[in-house]
Structure 1
Amino acid sequence: MLKTLLKSVRQYKKETLLSPLCVVVEVFIEMYIPYIMGLLIDNGINKGDMDYVRKMGLFTILMALISLVLGASASYFSAHAAAGFTANLRHDMFYHIQDFSFENIDKFSSASLVTRLTTDTNNIQQAYQMSIRMAVRAPFMMIISLFMAVSISWRLTLIFLVAVPILAFAMILIIKNARPYFPRIFRAYDELNRKVRENIRGIREVKTYVHEEEQIENFKKSTSKIYKLFRRAMFIMAFNGPVMTMMIDAVMLALSWFGAKLIVGHQLATGQLVSMFSYTMSILMSLMILSMIFTQLMMAQSSGRRVADVLTAKPTIVNPAKSPLTSVTNGEVVFDHVDFKYNKEDAHYALKDIDLRIKSGETLGIIGETGSSKSTLISMIPRLYDVTGGAVRVGGHNVRSYDLKTLRDNVAVVLQKNVLFTGTIKDNLKWGNEKASDEEIVWAAKIAQADGFIREMPDGYDTMVEQGGNNVSGGQKQRITIARALLKKPKILILDDSTSAVDTKTEREIREALKRDLPETTKIIISQRIVSIKDADRIVVMNHGKIEDVGTHDELIKRNDLYSSIAKFQEENSK
């Protein structure tokens, strides 16, 4: 895990090294000051030597100033390194996620990926900054203080032989009991993030169905779960403070008692006892700091594993290792006895023995009941998923032989759940082809029957689209996304129920324009409406992940019960 995460340090290695270096020098100076103070008391104040007092006093001030500068520098370098490291970490995660297949996204979930990019990386940043500063400072301070304490009085140092093991045992016990809560807390964060995203994205539906109270209650349950888990973890961690305070008080009391006896017995000077108090406090404070570091590291450990899981996850769909094809000659599609299941361990197949050939330039309709795997079938063509068995060929070659960009540039998919991005309508259209001219944009919009309503908007093609496309209707959104796909000038165009929000007249005009202006493009239309596919060259009837029948509208009406029943039902409901 650490090896994976630390790869993101990169250009911040210098700051990462400078911070602990400044800390080490700062600690040496800081730990030397109590020793000087002891000398100042015993050799200056007690003996009435004011020259010695002034000389050592100025030296102490100089040391304190140097220590202050070093401490400030360490803080700056650690903050700079931690912020840069985390920026790189987010960058590496985000770029790696871009290579993920749908299977990878399904495994992690989009809500969890957002949590890992935000909450988890914040935890790692805090732990990293603490590790290169406080985690260096505390052990060095404790070791040097212990060494200086032994050099002053090894008898008094024996007090620590009792105190330190007790503190260490208490710390281990606290960490052991608190650690299991943190993975559960971050999973609860994932769940909360998912619910918030669903609520915000579906706010219109929430208000339409008056489900605000239910959503608020769900939110309360999620936040309450996080609160309870955090409360339990923090309750356990809270024992750290009282234990530390009790041990500090006990050690200071023991030090005062035994130190006074040594002074009375002329085995210890007053200044040395003062130094011992300083070193004792340094040792105990170091232990307290270490306990805080362990607390943060426990949280960061869980976050680090989650981030490392993303960074080490291998995309399930990658370019061919050797000489990928960089051109698609035609729009022929062949499904050669294709099997597919979403979970390799699952016995259920989403697609089973699909054997189908679609000619280049052909218009193919696909229909079937909900859950018949229509969308799953077409997702095999641009390699959104890879087949479990069999093969899919485009233009005479296995889709796995193509460069992914080449394949997906030539296979345009318009989904039912359309997404528009913040920006102008023109910006959204140029997702299909960022180099498209204004004439090409208008050409694609006219085929998609979008040019008319776009020109009626306040700023035409330069009209801003709100987040999620909330300022355009469902039908308008679908037509914009069809135009966006057309700008790719693909060999294969797939419309996955992407005209469901468009009226039948406009839908017919879109189909006629596609047939007229894109005669050589293979068009695959998935629809729940018979009227949307009845004029297709052939129609595929899907049923439970299998092809039940293939034929024209008239042929299927006569021989296929499922198709004829759908047609009859829709005809009756349209009257």
Structure 2
Amino acid sequence: MLKLLRMLKPYRVLVFFVLLFVFLQSLSDLYLPTLLSDIVDNGVVKGDYPYIWKIGSFMLLFALVGGICSIGASFLSAKSAGGFGRDLRSRVFAHVEKYSLHEFDKIGTASLITRTTNDITQVQQVLMMMMRVMVAAPMMCFGGIIMALYKDAHLSLIIIAIVPILAIVILTIVSRGVPLFKVMQVKIDKLNLVLRENLTGIRVIRSFNRTKHEQARFNDANLDLTNTAIKVNRIMASLMPIMMLVLNFASLFIIWFGGLRIDSGNMAVGDLMAFIQYAWQIMFALIFASMMFVMIPRASASAARINEVLNMVPDINDPADGSAKRASGRGELTFDNVSFHYPGAEMPALSNISFTAGPGEVTAIIGGTGSGKSTLINLIPRFYDVTDGSIKIGGVDVREITQENLRAGIGLVPQKAMLFTGTIAENIRFGKSDATDEEIRHAAVVAQAFDFVSEMNDGFDSPIAQGGTNVSGGQKQRLSIARALVRKPSIYLFDDSFSALDFKTDAKLRAALRRETTEATVLIVAQRVSTVMDADRIIVLDDGKVSAIGTHRELLQSSSVYHEIVTSQLSEEEIA
């Protein structure tokens, strides 16, 4: 947690004034009981009304100063803690943006959401309390003890005896609560995961009549979190009653022994009243401290989880300053004996892949499920880095190019079409932020999306719902293709991007792409033979290895794997 507090540096002036206001408020609170003692002993007892008015005015003044300081401290602590939370969220989000897919898989999307929201909120709330309590509690406690000793040293022995008892109670309860707070955050992750899966997979859940099963699954995760929360809150809730019991017994002893000292003439009535107030100030300072002990364990668990995110070094990094290169040429893509293992996997996903794809050519990749087609595509923009070998663009290894420059020259259409909330135009412009209306229209025409877009009420200004749920799968794919086309990159990567299209639209789209990408390198991953038949080069993958490379006609004669795929999809007449 101390590591995160370094991010308070931009707010050090605000923090200084918070501490100053709390200090002045504490001085005001400590001085008020002494003024009360003077009013009673020198004003009320002696019947000196002018003295009562005079000291009473001083009390009002100090109370007013204390109130103003309290308001100022509350406002500035909230402002600085809020700024800290905002900056920390931005830092976590920016750091997560640098993660490779491996880091996302390792922590999990649901956990990252919890850490960026709930965990940071926990730390922010504790920070706001700490700025108030870390000065006020020690000062009120030790200041109260000093003032109590000043009023009556003998009676102060009661307070001195009570403080260690309260400290033992606090430490005992907190030591039992800390581990449970850590477990609780993990269970919030689990609940978030189940909820996220239910919301994103609601169509599948309903179509298979699994609503009750998912409800039971959610209830189990929810009950597990609830039981842990009840257990930890029971432990922490016992703190306040125990402390109040000790404080009330302390007050009882103070009044009893104080009365005996007044009766013996060793103590004035006003001093006893002031002493009782100092005792309560000491006790409440300890209560505030105990509240911090309740909040800090949970915040510490949250801070550890946030630090885990910030300390995780991405596997994929840009080259050192000065050593970064730019790809030369117009996007010639070369795989040189490339192999790749997924982290923790025993078998390689790809082994010894070698081929060259040039500008103006269409290179198709086909193979069975699990043959490594999508993995191969993901290596080009460095979503993962190769284990062995190298991938070169224009003769330059992709690892020697910054990720920003590398991806600026790539137009990727992923296997699962992803659209964002906003308009159709905004989604296409996602590929090129400064694209003109004419460029957006042209990209939609090439992607065979213009017809259905123009039929919508607002055309390109029509809204897209979250996840693109208000358009069909084929429409999502065509809009994703338009988003890549408007970018005008040197390399196009189509990862099974035509699977939701009918054969007629598929053929028209590929013909339009041919005309549009005459100077670009095009890689198409496909399951359908009809999609890859006209490619300049077809790479057949089998079990992560290149089984054969050639044209459709060549592979029909030379590759048994390709022939098997073709015969499973086309009739003898179509093959001929």
Aligned to 1:72: 71
Specify the code of the residue in structure 2 equivalent to 1:337: N
Q: d(CA) in 2 for partners of 1:563 and 1:489?
A: 32
Q: Are 1:462 and 2:469 matched, yes or no? A: no
Specify the code of the residue in structure 1 equivalent to 2:332: E
Is the contact between residue 492 and residue 521 of structure 1 (CA under 8 Å) also seen in structure 2? yes
Aligned to 2:391: 392
TM-superposed CA distance for 1:327, in Å, is 4.8
**Could you say what secondary structure the match of 2:155 adopts?**
helix
Is the contact between residue 9 and residue 88 of structure 1 (CA under 8 Å) also seen in structure 2? no
Specify the code of the residue in structure 2 equivalent to 1:105: F
**Could you say what secondary structure the match of 1:8 adopts?**
helix
> What pairs up with 1:265-276 in 2 under 5 angstroms?
265-276=264-275
Aligned to 2:317: 318
Specify the code of the residue in structure 1 equivalent to 2:464: V
TM-superposed CA distance for 1:293, in Å, is 0.8
- Describe the superposition over 1:74-93 as per-residue Cα deviations: whole angstroms up to 9, x where unpaired: 11111111112111111222
Aligned to 1:42: 41
Closer/same/farther in 2, CA of residues 24 and 272 from structure 1, 3 Å limit: same
**Could you say what secondary structure the match of 1:382 adopts?**
coil
Aligned to 1:359: 358
Aligned to 1:535: 534
Specify the code of the residue in structure 1 equivalent to 2:238: F
Q: d(CA) in 1 for partners of 2:92 and 2:573?
A: 50
Specify the code of the residue in structure 2 equivalent to 1:495: F
Specify the code of the residue in structure 2 equivalent to 1:206: I
TM-superposed CA distance for 1:573, in Å, is 13
Q: d(CA) in 2 for partners of 1:34 and 1:572?
A: 99
Is the contact between residue 425 and residue 462 of structure 1 (CA under 8 Å) also seen in structure 2? yes
TM-superposed CA distance for 1:458, in Å, is 1.4
Q: Are 1:194 and 2:184 matched, yes or no? A: no
* Structure 2: 5+ residue stretches without partners: none
Q: d(CA) in 2 for partners of 1:574 and 1:232?
A: 72
TM-superposed CA distance for 1:311, in Å, is 2.7
Q: d(CA) in 2 for partners of 1:239 and 1:55?
A: 44
- Describe the superposition over 1:42-77 as per-residue Cα deviations: whole angstroms up to 9, x where unpaired: 122222222222211111111111111111111111
Aligned to 2:259: 260
> What pairs up with 1:133-152 in 2 under 5 angstroms?
133-152=132-151
Aligned to 1:339: 339
Is the contact between residue 416 and residue 499 of structure 1 (CA under 8 Å) also seen in structure 2? no
**Could you say what secondary structure the match of 1:554 adopts?**
helix
Aligned to 1:184: 183
Paired residues, number? 573
TM-superposed CA distance for 1:145, in Å, is 0.3
TM-superposed CA distance for 1:548, in Å, is 2.6
Specify the code of the residue in structure 2 equivalent to 1:106: D
TM-superposed CA distance for 1:205, in Å, is 2.6
Q: d(CA) in 2 for partners of 1:192 and 1:369?
A: 36
* Structure 1: 5+ residue stretches without partners: none
Q: d(CA) in 1 for partners of 2:188 and 2:367?
A: 38
- Describe the superposition over 1:465-486 as per-residue Cα deviations: whole angstroms up to 9, x where unpaired: 1221122111011001101101
Specify the code of the residue in structure 2 equivalent to 1:339: S
Q: d(CA) in 1 for partners of 2:67 and 2:282?
A: 20
Is the contact between residue 328 and residue 407 of structure 1 (CA under 8 Å) also seen in structure 2? no
TM-superposed CA distance for 1:572, in Å, is 6.6
TM-superposed CA distance for 1:197, in Å, is 2.2
Specify the code of the residue in structure 1 equivalent to 2:31: Y
Is the contact between residue 507 and residue 531 of structure 2 (CA under 8 Å) also seen in structure 1? yes
Specify the code of the residue in structure 2 equivalent to 1:303: S
* TM-score (norm. length: structure 2): 0.95
Moved more, 393-402 or 536-545: 536-545
Is the contact between residue 327 and residue 394 of structure 2 (CA under 8 Å) also seen in structure 1? no
Q: d(CA) in 1 for partners of 2:71 and 2:494?
A: 61
Q: CA RMSD in A?
A: 2.0
Specify the code of the residue in structure 2 equivalent to 1:470: T
Aligned to 2:429: 430
TM-superposed CA distance for 1:499, in Å, is 1.0
TM-superposed CA distance for 1:209, in Å, is 2.8
Specify the code of the residue in structure 2 equivalent to 1:336: D
Closer/same/farther in 2, CA of residues 320 and 163 from structure 1, 3 Å limit: same
Closer/same/farther in 2, CA of residues 143 and 431 from structure 1, 3 Å limit: same
Is the contact between residue 327 and residue 396 of structure 2 (CA under 8 Å) also seen in structure 1? no
**Could you say what secondary structure the match of 1:122 adopts?**
helix
Closer/same/farther in 2, CA of residues 534 and 410 from structure 1, 3 Å limit: same
- Describe the superposition over 1:228-251 as per-residue Cα deviations: whole angstroms up to 9, x where unpaired: 111111111122122202211221
Moved more, 473-482 or 529-538: 529-538
TM-superposed CA distance for 1:279, in Å, is 0.8
Is the contact between residue 333 and residue 356 of structure 2 (CA under 8 Å) also seen in structure 1? yes
Aligned to 1:277: 276
> What pairs up with 1:493-504 in 2 under 5 angstroms?
493-504=492-503
TM-superposed CA distance for 1:559, in Å, is 3.8
Q: d(CA) in 2 for partners of 1:504 and 1:184?
A: 53
Is the contact between residue 359 and residue 518 of structure 2 (CA under 8 Å) also seen in structure 1? no
What fraction of aligned residue pairs are identical, expressed as a percent? 39
Closer/same/farther in 2, CA of residues 338 and 236 from structure 1, 3 Å limit: same
Is the contact between residue 328 and residue 406 of structure 1 (CA under 8 Å) also seen in structure 2? no
Moved more, 103-112 or 404-413: 103-112
TM-superposed CA distance for 1:574, in Å, is 12
Closer/same/farther in 2, CA of residues 572 and 181 from structure 1, 3 Å limit: farther
Is the contact between residue 328 and residue 410 of structure 1 (CA under 8 Å) also seen in structure 2? no
